[in-house]
Amino acid sequence: MFNFGQNNFMSHLIAPSMLSADFANLQHDIEIINKSEADWFHLDVMDGVFVPNISFGLPVISAINRYATKPLDVHLMIVHPERYIADFKMAGTDILTVHYEAVTHLHRTIHAIKEEGMKAGVVLNPHTNVMLLKDIIRDVDMVLLMSVNPGFGGQQFIENTYSKIGELKNMIHASSSSALIEVDGGVTTENASKLVKAGADVLVAGSSIFKSDDILKTIHTLKTA
C-alpha cells in the first residue's frame, strides 16, 4: 500500500483535480503531474443525479491509472456509491471517498471500501455539520470538506470552511482518530497557507493549477504554502 500519511518533508499533500485538466491531451497533463511535487491525482466522479453535472467514470479512471505514477484519490459524487466499490478498486483507485449525504449505511460502506484494500473517506457538503461524523470519525481514513457546492469547478471558496476545519480537527484529536482532512473547492495559491494553518492535511486544486501559466511552479507554491 502507498504511503497515505504526510511525508517527512512537507506538512501537507497536494492533489490536483483532473476535472480541470485538458481532456484532449489527458496523457500530457497526467505526465506533468507525475513529474511535479503533487502527491495524488484527485478524480471527481459525477452522475448528474447527486450533483447537477456529469464528469467521467470507470473507463477514464482505468485510462488514467495506466499512466499515473501517483495514488488515485477518487471522490464519488453519485447516488448508491456502495454498488460500485469493487469496480473502482479494479479501475485502480487507492482512496475512495463517498458523500455522507448520499449513503444510508455509512459505517457499512466505509468498511466495505477498506475490505477492498482501499483507504476510505467521507465527504461533507458545505451545509453539512462536521458533528454528524462523531460516531464514525475513528473508522475513516480521511474527511473531505467541500469548500464549494459540489458539481462544477472554478467556484468561489466558501469562507466558513476555515472554522469547519478547526471543528473537525478538534473532533479528530478528541477521538484519537488518525483521519486526514482534505479540502476541495476554490483552493488557490492565495488561500493555501491559511487552509494549512487551519488544519488541512490535503489540498485539492483544479482550476488554479491547470489554468496557470506554469503548472509545476503553481504546484510547488501550493506544496510549500
Q: Please provide the average confidence, as pLDDT, over all residues in the chain.
A: 94
d(CA 116, CA 87): 10
The DSSP line for 27-55 is HHHHHHHHHSS---EEEEEEBSSSSS-B-
Q: What pLDDT score was predicted for residue 8?
A: 42
Query: For residue 166, is pLDDT > 80?
Result: yes
Do residues 110 and 97 touch, judged by C-beta distance below 8 A? no
Give the active site residue among 39, 44, 94, 141: 44
Query: For residue 7, is pLDDT > 50?
Result: no
How do residues 70-129 score in pLDDT, each as one tens digit?
999 999 999 999 999 999 999 999 999 999 999 999 999 999 999 999 999 999 999 999
Q: 110 in helix, strand or coil? A: helix
Look up 44 and say whether it is catalytic.
yes
Look up 22 and say whether it is catalytic.
no
Do residues 146 and 122 touch, judged by C-beta distance below 8 A? no
**pTM tops 0.75, yes or no:** yes
Do residues 182 and 144 touch, judged by C-beta distance below 8 A? yes
How do residues 120-143 score in pLDDT, each as one tens digit?
999 999 999 999 999 999 999 999
Give the active site residue among 39, 141, 184, 201: 184
Q: Is the domain defined by 13-223 classed in CATH 3.20.20.70?
A: yes
How do residues 174-211 score in pLDDT, each as one tens digit?
999 999 999 999 999 999 999 999 999 999 999 999 99
Q: Provide the b/e sequence for 161-187 (b: ≥16 CB within 10 Å).
A: bbebbeebbebbeeeebebbbbbbbbb
Q: 213 in helix, strand or coil? A: coil
The cell 447516488 sits on which residue?
79
